[in-house]
Amino acid sequence: MQRFYKLPIVLDPQPEGGWTITCPLLPELHTEADTWDEVEPHVSDALLAVIEIYEHLEKPLPSVLKPINGEAVLMDTIVHLEAAV
């Protein structure tokens, strides 16, 4: 199943290079990227892990993650997830 989310992300530059990435709407989402090309796949992986944790705990996702037109959306950069869920 493909899902799209639109999330605000914060890229905090690190002194050694790259970024620490967080999402103000999902405090559980934390990841890092060394290059710009790594940002989207690392955020996708982190978001998928957060969603799996919510599902495992049988906890509803925050209301900001609502489906739009059959797909979930929420961000200023689109994060594409492809996984069997």
Residue bearing tokens 């890092």: 32
Q: The whole model's pTM is what?
A: 0.72
**Residue 78: pLDDT over 50:** no
Tens digits of per-residue pLDDT, 17-69?
999 999 988 889 999 999 999 998 899 899 889 989 988 999 988 877 655 55
Q: Domains of the chain, with CATH numbers?
A: 2-82 (3.30.160.250)
Cα 60 from Cα 78, distance rounded (Å):
22
The model's confidence at residue 80, banded by pLDDT at 50, 70 and 90, is very low
- E strand segments, 23-85: 30-33, 66-68, 71-73, 77-82
- State both tokens at 76: 């200023």
